[in-house]
Structure 1
Amino acid sequence: MSFALAIAPPTVPPPEGCIDTQVLGHILLIGINRPAKRNGWTPAMFRQLAEAYTRLDDDPELRVGVLHAFGDHFTGGLDLPAVTAYLQRGEKAIPEGLVEPHDFGQPGYRRRTKPMVVAVKGICFTVGIELMLGADIVVAADNCRFSQMEVQRGIMATGGATLRMAERAGAGNALLHLLTADEFDSAEALRLNFVQKVVPAGQELDEALAIARRIAAQAPLAVVATRLNVLKAIEQGPAAAVADFVPVQKQLANSADAAEGVRAFVERRPAQFSGR
């Protein structure tokens, strides 16, 4: 059965677009909804996306998010006429205090703690690449067209591409695509570790939901701790991550979920975790 069959039809978006959300068990499905404009990003959409990411982190019943898009394309990138004034003023479209979807850890913005899986398809330009690189696991349709084309528009990629492309693929590979603004396909994105799986077009959301369901079945506290430890190792180095091993493991080992994990092991049954 297709997981995607359970998804509610999108709302009719306003001209500036919107972000649709739907709860599927412990999963928060987050849909980019401006298909008539190839899901071009507006300030309103950025604000609503941050609100959705904040909802994921704040709701104890939610364990993982899945970001996807309505229509044929993930996104054509920034709607430049709509965002140029913000760029010129150096103004952020996301209010302080919310989870920042690019996951930078900037002062005044929260960092996401729970996992985010992304399903991309069709055109995935500029901010689309940066949102998927700022998430955790990416499933790409085999019809994807990627481009980090800011230099064609006289601006710089400031949604994380300059950081994460080099982190995933090395400086040379990152600069090849950042400085030429060329278009590349799903196979190249997989080679560069920008995406983790490539599936036939039309199957990307099903696969992303399947991954999210497997994550949601694990112990939530352990999932969050594991994710944060990986990020700490990347950003602060192995020693900082290792320093957390004993205190974090002690906390997890004394949780109700750890006790349930032991019971499930002894009783040879799937564990039923509570997130406590």
Structure 2
Amino acid sequence: MGERVSVERDGQVLLIGLNRPEKRNAADFAMLQELCLAYGELERDPQLRAAVVFAHGDHFTAGLDLADVAPRIGRDGLDLVPEGGINPWQVGGPSISKPVVIAVQGTCLTLGIELALASDIVIAADSTTFGQIEVQRGILPFGGATIRLPRAVGWGNAMRWMLTGDMFPVTEALRIGLVQEVVPHGTQLDRALELAQRIAAQAPLAVQATLANARTAIREGDEAAATRLQPELVRLAASQDAAEGIRAFLARDEPEFTGR
């Protein structure tokens, strides 16, 4: 992909790696754009069923490289999505229809937390320390934390950390539900990939429909999601994958889903 973000395929899973370890993976403008392009590749390729986002080195990210990014903030904010890209923080533009598992370690600041909040499952190394520190820099979280963190961890827990900018340990992240699993440092990528491959083995249309309906409930409310359940059931029940699921159930063997 480029110098700042590595992109590798493992079967039907796309591995997207932040690759600026000498700067604790601080995100300059080039990294932001390359990350957008990687998400665009994930969305467009029908062979890809899930992604794992991780970071090379001992730290996930030290946040924005403000020296590089701040001068690019114009009258309308920060325009970071190049042609063919998708905003990984999902605060504008097209939505990602495929699941993303994220593996974090070491320092995980600001946009790293927001990337986790925009993902679907978060695996954290026991070395991870978190911080939503924008208020200490005179700005606000603009990658979705103000929207998603209160919803994910509760109002008081979100405000405790966002309004002070204090750092918090992985034990607190697990307690409030920001992360789903804590694993020994160095094993976080393996565990994230294991889960992503488990997801990729399921029926892709069903996975994407499940994800989409859950997001509809969050964004548009329970009633909007409920009205779509039966039509989606009818659509999926007519798919080849549904027939394959029934066949495998009756034959007591593993299904082979094609996404059709």
Give the alignment partner of residue 149 of structure 2, picking from 140, 149, 165: 165
CA distance in 2, matches of 1:235, 1:250: 23
Q: Is the 8 A contact 1:97 1:110 kept in 2?
A: no
Give the alignment partner of residue 77 of structure 1, picking from 43, 58, 63: 63
Give the alignment partner of residue 103 of structure 1, picking from 68, 72, 90: 90
Deviation, 1:101, is: 0.5
Q: Is the 8 A contact 1:31 1:70 kept in 2?
A: yes
Further displaced range: 91-100 or 265-274 = 91-100
Further displaced range: 27-36 or 47-56 = 47-56
Q: Is the 8 A contact 2:39 2:86 kept in 1?
A: yes
Deviation, 1:85, is: 1.2
Partner letter of residue 125 of structure 1? L
Give the alignment partner of residue 72 of structure 2, picking from 82, 86, 95: 86
What is the aligned partner in structure 2 of residue 180 from structure 1?
Answer: 164
Give the alignment partner of residue 248 of structure 1, picking from 232, 235, 241: 232
CA distance in 1, matches of 2:210, 2:72: 36
Structure 1 runs of 4+ with >4 Å offset:
none
What is the aligned partner in structure 2 of residue 4 from structure 1?
Answer: none
Matches within 5 A, 1:149-164: 149-164=133-148
SS in 2 for 1:269: coil
Question: With structure 2 as the length reference, what TM-score do the two structures score?
Answer: 0.97
Note if 1:35 corresponds to 2:21. Answer: yes
What is the aligned partner in structure 2 of residue 205 from structure 1?
Answer: 189
Give the alignment partner of residue 121 of structure 1, picking from 82, 85, 105: 105
Question: What RMSD, in angstroms, separates the aligned Cα atoms of the two structures?
Answer: 1.3
What is the aligned partner in structure 1 of residue 202 from structure 2?
Answer: 218
Q: Is the 8 A contact 1:221 1:275 kept in 2?
A: yes
Deviation, 1:96, is: 5.8
Partner letter of residue 82 of structure 2? P
Q: Is the 8 A contact 2:37 2:82 kept in 1?
A: no
Partner letter of residue 204 of structure 2? P
Partner letter of residue 198 of structure 2? R
SS in 2 for 1:244: helix
After superposition, give the CA deviation of every residue in 1:108-149 in whole Å (9 maximum; x if it has no partner). Answer: x21100000000000000100000111100000011010000
Q: Is the 8 A contact 1:19 1:33 kept in 2?
A: yes
Note if 1:23 corresponds to 2:9. Answer: yes
Partner letter of residue 223 of structure 1? V
**Runs of at least 5 residues in structure 1 that lack an aligned partner in the other structure:** 1-10
* Number of equivalences: 259
What is the aligned partner in structure 2 of residue 45 from structure 1?
Answer: 31
Deviation, 1:46, is: 1.1
After superposition, give the CA deviation of every residue in 1:199-251 in whole Å (9 maximum; x if it has no partner). Answer: 11111111101100110110000000000111111111111111111111111
Partner letter of residue 55 of structure 2? A
CA distance in 2, matches of 1:21, 1:126: 23
Deviation, 1:97, is: 5.8
CA distance in 1, matches of 2:47, 2:69: 34
Deviation, 1:87, is: 2.4
Note if 1:273 corresponds to 2:251. Answer: no
Note if 1:54 corresponds to 2:40. Answer: yes
Partner letter of residue 92 of structure 1? D
CA distance in 2, matches of 1:272, 1:116: 21
SS in 2 for 1:138: strand
Note if 1:143 corresponds to 2:130. Answer: no
Further displaced range: 167-176 or 66-75 = 167-176
After superposition, give the CA deviation of every residue in 1:47-100 in whole Å (9 maximum; x if it has no partner). Answer: 111111111111111000000000110000000000001225423111366321
Partner letter of residue 95 of structure 1? P
CA distance in 1, matches of 2:84, 2:41: 12
